[in-house]
Copies of this chain bind each other. A is one copy, B any other.
């Protein structure tokens, strides 16, 4: 064997999901016969809704297995545009919608067309861990702004004013957010948009949990202006995680650039998935999805008070997504060690704060209420014993 080859410098800054190590350990415990409650992964227990699965099967039977255009199936771009119009009250032309391999693909394209080496993107800490890695991938610099309960863990224009530099080209927010489940309302989004437009920068709004909102606005930043990027996905609300399908709503003058980059980096998103997703907006499917939203709400309404009662501090009631993010210092000064013991001793897998940044990394953990109520009840019973 030759000596280990040099690896690109960016890879020293791109971290794996730490929860994957916990997941692997959970799998080993399960192989030994232990029962583990999985509240660590951001993937619901629900199957893809039957109307979508059936549409996927029909597409396969009909031979829809060839490439689509890089920007996606025209019929799907139109269906998403109608969804924005009818459900979210936003006027979005189909031409501004680019279909991507998951929201991951959308983030890759948007960062790819915006970032020169050294350019900065302002984002929250805690936040979705891949965001800063997408920026690093293109030789940019993520500027992670510590946020807390005083702003619902969201960026404000005051944050941007403090952290915007000559090199900043974009700000990124998520609503509902991961890991905190908080929302950025219309007023806040307007304020952020005014700021970024004033500085000639871009606003990127991650709405991949859009639809999973239990109180407050289930809207879209796309209603505010054409001059921002909205990222969305069929994974979470629509229950299509493994199909890998998402989209971006882009400013008109950026679509050609996104198309070019998509042609080169992906060719196109999955064709069967695109055909299946056409069924996502049918009344039969929307009815299933609404019922699931109510199930998530019931889970939140059970788990949140139960964990608070055990001593987890959750200062802001999460209003969307399927996450509870709380201060665990009542149990341990080190949330990673806590997550490990929680798995080993209580058989409950949760995600350490480390996966969402540095700011609250050692004092916080995330619970994903992606399991059914009886399972959550069992988890709470185990935690009660473990944390006593």
Residue positions of A touching B, CB distance < 8 A: 1-11, 14-17, 20, 41, 43, 47-48, 53, 56-57, 60-61, 63-68, 101-102, 104-105, 108, 112-117, 119, 129-130, 133-134, 137-139, 169, 197, 200-202, 226-227, 239-244, 251, 253-254, 257, 259-261, 263-273
* Neighbour of A272 across the interface among B242, B260, B267, CB < 8 A: B242
User: Which residues on B sit within 8 Å (CB–CB) of A116?
Assistant: 8-10
- Apart from A5-B251, A6-B169, A16-B263, 15 more pairs, CB < 8 Å: A2-B200, A5-B201, A5-B253, A5-B254, A14-B260, A15-B260, A43-B66, A57-B57, A108-B265, A129-B264, A130-B264, A133-B264, A242-B268, A270-B273, A272-B273
Assess whether A265 is in contact with B11, with CB atoms less than 8 Å apart.
Answer: no
* Neighbour of A202 across the interface among B1, B5, B20, B134, CB < 8 A: B5
**Complexed CA–CA distance, A6 and B119 (Å):** 12
Contact (A243, B265) CB under 8 Å given A197-B2, A254-B5: no
State the Cβ distance, A41 to closest chain B Cβ, in Å.
Answer: 8
Assess whether B243 is in contact with A271, with CB atoms less than 8 Å apart.
Answer: yes
Assess whether B114 is in contact with A117, with CB atoms less than 8 Å apart.
Answer: no
State the Cβ distance, A203 to closest chain B Cβ, in Å.
Answer: 11
Closest to A244 in B: B270
User: Which residues on B sit within 8 Å (CB–CB) of A169?
Assistant: 6
Assess whether A139 is in contact with B139, with CB atoms less than 8 Å apart.
Answer: yes
User: Which residues on B sit within 8 Å (CB–CB) of A253?
Assistant: 4-5
User: Which residues on B sit within 8 Å (CB–CB) of A20?
Assistant: 263
**Complexed CA–CA distance, A60 and B68 (Å):** 21
User: Which residues on B sit within 8 Å (CB–CB) of A14?
Assistant: 260-261, 264
Assess whether A259 is in contact with B137, with CB atoms less than 8 Å apart.
Answer: no
Assess whether A270 is in contact with B254, with CB atoms less than 8 Å apart.
Answer: no
Q: What would 9 A/B residue contacts be, using CB atoms closer than 8 Å?
A: A5-B114, A5-B251, A8-B113, A16-B263, A48-B63, A64-B242, A65-B239, A242-B268, A243-B272
Contact (A242, B271) CB under 8 Å given A2-B197, A137-B112, A253-B4: yes
* Neighbour of A65 across the interface among B112, B200, B240, B260, CB < 8 A: B240
User: Which residues on B sit within 8 Å (CB–CB) of A53?
Assistant: 60-61, 65
**Complexed CA–CA distance, A47 and B66 (Å):** 8
User: Which residues on B sit within 8 Å (CB–CB) of A243?
Assistant: 65, 270-272
Assess whether B264 is in contact with A2, with CB atoms less than 8 Å apart.
Answer: no
State the Cβ distance, A277 to closest chain B Cβ, in Å.
Answer: 12
* Neighbour of A47 across the interface among B9, B65, B227, B272, CB < 8 A: B65
**Complexed CA–CA distance, A114 and B115 (Å):** 20
Assess whether A138 is in contact with B8, with CB atoms less than 8 Å apart.
Answer: yes
**Complexed CA–CA distance, A270 and B101 (Å):** 9
User: Which residues on B sit within 8 Å (CB–CB) of A8?
Assistant: 112-116, 119, 138
State the Cβ distance, A48 to closest chain B Cβ, in Å.
Answer: 4
**Complexed CA–CA distance, A200 and B161 (Å):** 47
Assess whether B7 is in contact with A114, with CB atoms less than 8 Å apart.
Answer: yes
* Neighbour of A257 across the interface among B7, B129, B134, B200, CB < 8 A: B7
**Complexed CA–CA distance, A68 and B268 (Å):** 20
State the Cβ distance, A258 to closest chain B Cβ, in Å.
Answer: 10
User: Which residues on B sit within 8 Å (CB–CB) of A113?
Assistant: 7-8, 11
**Complexed CA–CA distance, A66 and B240 (Å):** 7
State the Cβ distance, A196 to closest chain B Cβ, in Å.
Answer: 10
**Complexed CA–CA distance, A119 and B115 (Å):** 19
**Complexed CA–CA distance, A166 and B43 (Å):** 46
